Structure 1
């Protein structure tokens, strides 16, 4: 099992050294000496737990905690305040901001080790439950809920730099006829094999393949322009064709095929995730009604979509 990562935030190096000595045998430990640095380190390392000093120059621990809990990427990281204040009012303020516990200074090694261990284990269990809630049980891919959540995060992140985002939607051709011919257990095996082919085709760690529902799948491709996304779509189509799953009632092939729609755009403030879903789904519709077993790609931008919605040229 991978060791959990603990981020220690304290402007006193001696305090960091004490806590590191207590925890380093069981955890990966990183540290920051200011609130500003702590927020940067939290984003880059995604620690499993943060030990956060209250009294620091610049941004204090309370403000760091507030910003952590306001950030969708960091909100689930548990925070334990470390402080010598010993003031009930300060404890209540910290807990109200979203901290899960308090450890007072001077540090008692046994207490620190026990509380960190308890909260790391609780987070591990929460992560497992959260993973089950966003994972498709049949294929092991992300489910629609996770895809929509990831798309929300990526559109916000990529909009900061005006970067590309592409979404692929694909549908197994004539899948109802496949189920009617071979039965639902065979249909489930087909879906599982298509999911595996999809995973082989989508190679970058940042890309997210998902089961969108039924026989429909999707992929989120951050920083992929239209050409790059089309290459991924071609690889998906080839990987699925190479499965050679017989489909005697398909009207276009003796084997399982897929129709694919691709939508690409530069992320800009004001562009919502549903734009990519809507456009990719529209391209999927065109692929299906254009003969199936094909890829249709579009590149769009917000002004053009607004003009179309307004009925202007």
Structure 2
């Protein structure tokens, strides 16, 4: 006779499903896989989280769950000059960590070398030594470089966010911050099972994106927008791989900040690699998100190039001249649902043909439904590989870069010839 209560059995079943997905599993996918009602699953997840076995991360409306190591006591250093905020951060992290506090830069550096924290929650504006200098010093030190750094700051996010990410910060949170977000990130950073967590690229992977795409193809009032960093390859060639990664991480941070404000029950975001993202939601929902991101990226581009000694960065460098290939910009465009459906059918057909060939042409083979797409197939479905670029000028003469589906006539085709 089995005396194990059914509630414990269910918790074990849910935990096993989460643990089997080292890179996280979405709540919707978990419900479908376990065939559990959403309300029942929510109760189990709440219980497991209260016991410290799992943690959730929310990006937009997508909730991803990760399994955590138990009985692990990591060290955290909080560097914040305001005593009240310093204590708020400590309270937010809870009692599961060995925590020390510093209120100025020089003391922070001393404690970093003595205490050897696993994670630093770091303000930027500090007496003594600036927070960005601390970040750069830690990440350049061979003995300290693996220390996780979360910057929490109210200073100019446009400029300092890029600097922080470039200097190696693992995440940037703007003040006023949400305590739950800080605690969730800290738990996943320090206790997640498997490989090291990177929140700026650990957006839904190909498995989770595949599940979302299957839902998209059956929707009518839905839209998918591709967002891509233009000239990233040129920038990488000019300044190196690490600087190019900082650009991708910046765009990812901007995207995640924006979708955290997004009131969409069905929306999702994902990273396709090579500086390419996808944003999806109800009709007319994604345009505001991507337009805001493009504007914020435009605002930070000058700081990026000033750091490279390029001060004169204007429209002429986009439309011609030797510096044209250096200019980074955000390209974005809606990916028509009929295009996604058509490409999906093409992929299914290719798989079916391959299966039929492998079976020696046996009759009676059924059409294979894709259980998952590779990143290459996702780029074919929702990527920029079959998009054309339209470069136009806005009402005040500002440059606008936008993608359009191949074969679609650009509305502003001749606008560059005017004047």
TM-score under structure 2 normalisation? 0.35
TM-score under structure 1 normalisation? 0.46
